[in-house]
Amino acid sequence: MFATRVMTLLGRRSIATVLALVALATPLVYEAYMRSVAATFEIRAFSRDLSDPRRLAGFADDVFVGRVEGEGRFYDLDSTVNRTVFPVRVLEVLKGDVPSADILVNQVGGEDQYGNVWRIEGVPMLQPSETYLFATRSSGDDFLGETATPGVGHTLLASDDQRRRLVRRFRDAIQSAIPYDVPNPARSDR
Amino acid sequence: MAHVRAGVGADLICGLGRPRWWAPCQPRAGRPPGARVRDAGRAPRGPTHRDHRRPQAWYAGNAHATVNQRMRRGCGQTMSERIPLRIPVKGSGAVNDGRCDLGWYGSWEKSPPGADDIYLYTCEMHPAGTTRRREVMAHEFGHALGLADGCIEHQGLSYLMMGGPDSVDPFAGFCGCIGPGQHEKNDYYARWGCLEPLCSQPG
C-alpha cells in the first residue's frame, strides 16, 4: 500500500535512480568512514629474551641472508597479530633448509587499506631492496611463509663489511646455540 | 591462542555478553596522570561484592586477584576500587591457532578507539609453569592499566613490567613477579587516583 503510493508519487524510474545512487555511494561512504576512524595500534609482547645470538640461533628454524624483493602485503588475521608478508630472495643460508630462491617472510605489524597501523614499538618494517640477516621460524602457512622473529629476527645489512662480520658472528652462535625448549610443530612437516 | 578483550577504566567494567542497562559497556577516558579523584568509586556503577558470585563474572585467574589484592592494600573502600578491571573472555577462552613462530607468551595491543586487546599464546603458555603464567597475565594486565608506560629509565624499580633489576630486555624479562612493585603502585595511583585520605599510605 505504502510502496504503491510512493511509486505513484515518484515514478518507478525515480526510485530506481535513488536505489542505484545509494548502491554506488555505500562503499564510498563506508571507506570514508573507515579512513576517518583509522588508528595506530601499538603491540607489546611478553617473551623470552632472544637478544643473545646464541639463544636466537637456538630458537630460529632458519638463519639466512636475504634481500627484500618487493612491497609487503598486509594480512588481517583477526584472531592473531596481523602480519605483513614480503617476497625475499635468499642469498646465503647459515642454518636450516630454506630454498635458495624466492620465499615469503612475514613480519608482525603493518598497515591495512584504511590506514590502520599495527606496530611493535622500536621495530622498523622491512624495506624493499634492502638486505637483511633473517632469523625465522616457519609459520606453517603457505601464505605467511617464514616468520621473522619479532624484534630481533631481522638485521639490516648496510654494507658488505657489516654483512661479513654479522655472518661470522652468527655462524659462531649457531655452533654454540642454546636450544629452545618449545619446538615448532610446523617444522616437523619439513 | 586465547584472545581476551579488556575494557580498562577505574570504574569501567564490561560484563560478559551484551552490555546491560545497569552496567553499560562503554570505554571511559583515562584520568590524566597525577589526578586525584575523590569520588572514584561513586561514578557509574562498578562491580560489587555480589559480582563474585555471578557466573558470568569471569576473572582471569589468580594473577588478576593478586595484582588487585596487593594494590588495594592502601587504597579503596569498596569493591569498585578493589577490582578496576574485569576480563570478558570470548568463546572458550583458549584457542590454539597452532602457531609457535613468535616465541611470545602474551602480548598487549593498545587500541585507541576503545578496549585494549590481550593475547595469550598457548604454544608457550601450555608448557609454562603456574608462576610464569601468572607473571604473564599480571604483566599484560599491567599494560592494560597503563603501568610503567615508557618508564625504561625506572628500570630496576619496576619489577612486574620491566622484569626486575637484572633484566635488560625492554620487551620483558622474568623475575617471577606476579604482583606490582612500588613504582608500579605509584603509577597506578597517579593514573587512576583513589579515595582520600587512603592514598596517603599506598602499599
If asked whether residues A69 and A31 sit together in one domain, one would say no
What pLDDT sits at residue B99? 76
Tell me, what's the pLDDT at B168?
Answer: 39
Q: What is the pLDDT of residue B15?
A: 35
Q: What is the pLDDT of residue A141?
A: 86
Chain A: residue whose CA lies nearest to B100: A184
- In degrees and rounded to multiples of 5, residue B152 shows phi and psi of -60, -30
Q: State yes or no: pLDDT of A82 exceeds 80.
A: yes
Interval A91-119: pLDDT, tens: 999 999 888 789 999 999 999 999 989 98
Domain count, chain A: 2
Residues A21 and A89 in one domain: no
Are residues A119 and A161 both part of a single domain?
Answer: yes
Task: Write the residue in A37, A79, A137 that is nearest to B1 by C-beta.
Answer: A79
Q: Looking at residue A153, what is its pLDDT? A: 92
Residue of A nearest to B127 (CA): A182
Looking at residue A121, what DSSP letter applies? Answer: T
**Residues A50/A170, Cβ–Cβ less than 8 Å:** no
pLDDT value, residue A138: 92
ipTM of the complex: 0.83
Mark whether A24 and A71 lie in a shared domain.
no
- pLDDT score recorded for residue B113: 65
Asked if B103 lies within 8 A of A137 by C-beta distance, the reply is yes
Confidence of residue A86 (pLDDT cuts 50, 70, 90): very high
The answer to whether A99 touches A111, Cβ cutoff 8 Å, is no
Mean pLDDT of B119-129: 81
A69 shares a domain with A27: no
Q: What is the pLDDT of residue B94?
A: 42
A177 and A83, same structural domain?
A: yes
Q: Are residues A66 and A16 in the same domain?
A: no
B43, pLDDT greater than 70: no
Per the CB < 8 A criterion, the answer to whether B170 and B158 are in contact is: no
DSSP secondary-structure letter at A96?
A: S
Range with the lowest mean pLDDT among A72-86, A139-153, B51-65?
B51-65
Q: What are B109's three cell numbers?
A: 595491543
With an 8 Å Cβ cutoff, are A150 and B112 in contact?
no
Residue B124: the pLDDT is 83
Residue A58, min C-alpha distance to chain B (Å): 12
CA distance B63 to B113: 27
- Is the Cβ–Cβ distance between A46 and B107 less than 8 Å? yes
Q: Which three cell numbers stand for residue A58?
A: 637456538
- Which residues on chain B are in Cβ contact (under 8 Å) with A39? 111-113
> Residue A72: which domain range?
53-182
Residue B69 in this model has a pLDDT that exceeds 80: no
Burial of A168 by CB count in 10 Å (0-12 exposed, 13-18 middle, 19+ buried)?
Answer: exposed
* Residue B127 in contact with partner chain A when CB distance is under 8 A: yes
Select the residue of A46, A118, A136 nearest B104 (Cβ to Cβ): A46
Residues A87 and A157 in one domain: yes
- Same domain membership, residue A32 and residue A62: no
Ranges of beta strands (E only) in chain B are 2-8, 85-86, 104-110, 116-120
- With CB atoms and an 8 Å threshold, state whether B106 touches A45: yes
User: What percent of chain A has pLDDT above 90?
Assistant: 51
- Residues in chain B, overall count: 203
On whether both A81 and A27 belong to a single domain, the answer is no
Burial (CB count <10 Å: 0-12, 13-18, 19+), residue B29 = exposed
Contact status, residue A176 vs residue A86, Cβ threshold 8 Å: no
Find how far residue B186's CA is from the centre of its chain.
Answer: 15
User: Which of A42, A48, A80 lies nearest to residue B97, judging by beta carbons?
Assistant: A80
Closest-CA residue to A98 (of A135, A69, A68)? A135
Nearest to A37 among B1, B101, B113 (CB): B113
Contact of B58 with chain A, judged by CB distance below 8 Å, is answered with no
Nearest C-alpha in A relative to B175: A48
Could you tell me if A59 and A28 lie in one domain? no
Mean per-residue pLDDT for B133-150? Answer: 75
Mutant choice from B92, B99, B100, B101 vs A, greatest count of A C-beta within 10 A = B101
Q: Please indicate whether residue B148 or residue B119 has the higher confidence score (pLDDT).
A: B119
Mean pLDDT of chain A: 88
Q: Is residue A189 part of a domain?
A: no
User: In this complex, do A43 and B167 lie within 8 Å of one another by their Cβ atoms?
Assistant: no
- Would you give the end-to-end CA distance of chain A in angstroms? 67
Q: Does A150 fall in a domain? A: yes
Residue B190 has a pLDDT of 76
Q: Which of A55-59, A96-100, B78-82 reaches the highest mean pLDDT?
A: A55-59
Q: What is the pLDDT of residues A10-20, one digit of tens each?
A: 677 788 888 88
Taking the CA of residue A22 and the nearest CA in chain B, the distance in Å comes to 28
> Average model confidence (pLDDT) for chain B?
53
More confident residue, B187 or A147: A147
pLDDT tens digits, B93-107: 344 566 788 888 888
- Judging by DSSP bridges, how do beta strands A110-111 and A131-138 pair with one another? unpaired
Q: Which of A166, A162, A110, A111 is nearest to A134 (CA)?
A: A166
- Per-residue pLDDT at A62 exceeds 80: yes
Query: How many whole angstroms separate alpha carbon B181 and alpha carbon B178?
Result: 10
Alpha-carbon gap, residue A45 to B119, rounded angstroms: 9
The residue ranges of every structural domain in chain B are: 2-200
pLDDT of A25 above 50 = yes
Residue A71, CA atoms < 13 Å, CB-side half-sphere: 3
Find chain A residues with C-beta within 8 A of B106's C-beta. 45-46
Length reported for chain A = 190
For residues A22 and A59, membership in a common domain is answered with: no
Task: Give pLDDT, residue B56.
Answer: 32
Of A41, A43, A149, the CB nearest to B103: A149
- Residue A190 placed within a domain: no
Q: Write out the three cell numbers for A86.
A: 614480503
Q: Do A81 and B109 touch (CB under 8 A)?
A: yes
Distances, alpha carbon A96 to alpha carbons A39, A144, A170, A187, B43, in Å: 38, 18, 13, 10, 58
Nearest CA in chain A to B102: A149
- Residue A46 belongs to some domain of the structure: no
**pLDDT digits 0-9 by tens, A127-181:** 999 999 999 999 888 889 999 999 899 999 999 999 999 999 999 999 999 999 8
The answer to the question of residue A134 being in a domain is yes
User: Sorting pLDDT into bands at 50, 70 and 90, what band is A42?
Assistant: confident
Task: Tell which wins on pLDDT, B146 or B194.
Answer: B146
The answer as to whether A135 is a domain residue is yes
**Does position B158 have pLDDT exceeding 90, yes or no?**
no
Rounded to an integer, what is the distance from CA B130 to the centroid of its chain?
18
